[in-house]
């Protein structure tokens, strides 16, 4: 048996496909070449990201889209290699989808949502997002069907992509990396508001993770029931751990208030007791 006979030896033969040793080698080469192309493309994107020509989230989205396209092309070529007609596959898939029904609809809904997320770029890797229920997390991976988000508790949530399309989503990192937050402060009536404003500015300026541009803003927000209410607005790049920054600011503000005799009030109520005397008293 010569080499040609070995290569043309039929391993599997049906009405729809013919699998020979030669076609098996072709399939192996197609898979290897596809894997190499995907790896090469990922290295190119990483190089561009390191040179700051591409953001991490953008490069990840591009890579995911190209990866799926490469694999779809490879699968189509493999089917053609073994003589399997793609039209027959599509017809069979349509019949399968009709049979499975509602269960597959949710899967396809997530898949379509994944394409929208990857193409539109509204959600990218490393973005800080707030989901319904005030759940804050960092996007660590965007897949075609699901997205992985890491919370502040170091818990990884695997969320179907359709949730990001249908539910309310706040992306703190969409426009730029730094975001504005605020801390509420109340001081007693009669306090020197100019002194309070100065102390709040000092507390913000001393924190290393509070951005210098734009500068922090102190606002006299309201006359409360028991206090003069202020808001300290500040910007930070570390949005994921902003609650720790807020806590640090409160520690410093409280210390400075004690040093400068500024009183933080507590709610007070006046209770008037009236005694009613009966007719016989």
Tell me: do 96 and 130 sit in the same domain: no
What pLDDT shows up at residue 103? Answer: 55
What pLDDT shows up at residue 5? Answer: 63
In eight-state DSSP terms, residue 268 is -
Q: What is the pTM of this model?
A: 0.59
Name the burial class of residue 254, with classes exposed (0-12), middle (13-18) and buried (19+) by CB atoms within 10 angstroms of its CB.
middle
> Is residue 273 in some structural domain?
no
What pLDDT shows up at residue 189? Answer: 93
Tell me the CATH number at 204.
3.30.70.100
Tell me: do 13 and 94 sit in the same domain: yes
Which DSSP string corresponds to 29-50?
Answer: HHHHHHHHHHHHHHHHHHHHHH
What pLDDT shows up at residue 97? Answer: 52
Residues of the chain with pLDDT under 70: 1-17, 51-58, 60-61, 84-105, 175, 268-272, 276-281
- Phi-psi category of residue 121: left, alpha or beta, with phi > 0 → left and psi -120 to 50 → alpha: left
What pLDDT shows up at residue 86? Answer: 59
Tell me: do 202 and 235 sit in the same domain: yes
Owning domain of residue 138: 120-171
> Is residue 274 in some structural domain?
no
Give the integer Cα–Cα distance in Å for 82 and 17: 6
What pLDDT shows up at residue 203? Answer: 95
Tell me: do 196 and 154 sit in the same domain: no
Tell me: do 13 and 76 sit in the same domain: yes
Tell me: do 130 and 166 sit in the same domain: yes
Please state the domain count of the chain.
3
Mean pLDDT, all residues of the chain: 81
> Is residue 220 in some structural domain?
yes
> Is residue 279 in some structural domain?
no
**Residues making up the chain, counted from first to last:** 281
């Amino acid at each position: 048996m010569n080499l040609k006979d070995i290569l043309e030896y039929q391993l599997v033969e049906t009405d729809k496909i013919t699998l020979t040793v030669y076609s098996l080698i072709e399939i192996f080469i197609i898979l290897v070449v596809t894997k190499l192309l995907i790896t090469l493309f990922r290295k190119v994107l990483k190089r561009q990201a390191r040179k700051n020509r591409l953001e991490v989230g953008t490069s990840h989205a591009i890579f995911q889209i190209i990866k799926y396209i490469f694999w779809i092309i490879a699968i189509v070529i493999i089917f053609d290699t073994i003589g399997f007609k793609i039209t027959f596959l599509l017809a069979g898939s349509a019949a399968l989808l009709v049979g499975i029904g509602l269960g597959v609809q949710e899967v396809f809904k997530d898949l379509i949502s994944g394409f929208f997320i990857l193409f539109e770029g509204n959600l990218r890797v490393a973005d800080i997002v707030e989901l319904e229920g005030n759940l804050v997390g960092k996007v660590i991976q965007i897949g075609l069907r699901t997205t992985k988000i890491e919370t502040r508790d170091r818990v990884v949530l695997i969320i179907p992509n359709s949730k990001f399309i249908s539910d309310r989503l706040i992306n703190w990192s969409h426009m730029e990396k730094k975001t504005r937050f605020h801390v509420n402060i109340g001081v007693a009536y009669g306090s020197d508001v100019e002194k309070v404003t100065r102390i709040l500015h000092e507390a913000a300026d001393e924190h290393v993770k509070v951005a210098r541009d734009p500068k922090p803003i102190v606002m006299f927000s309201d006359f409360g029931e028991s206090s003069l209410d202020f808001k300290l607005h500040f910007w930070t790049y570390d949005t994921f751990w902003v609650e720790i920054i807020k806590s640090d600011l409160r520690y410093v503000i409280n210390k400075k208030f004690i040093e400068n005799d500024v009183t933080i009030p507590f709610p007070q109520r006046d209770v008037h007791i009236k005694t009613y005397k009966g007719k016989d008293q």
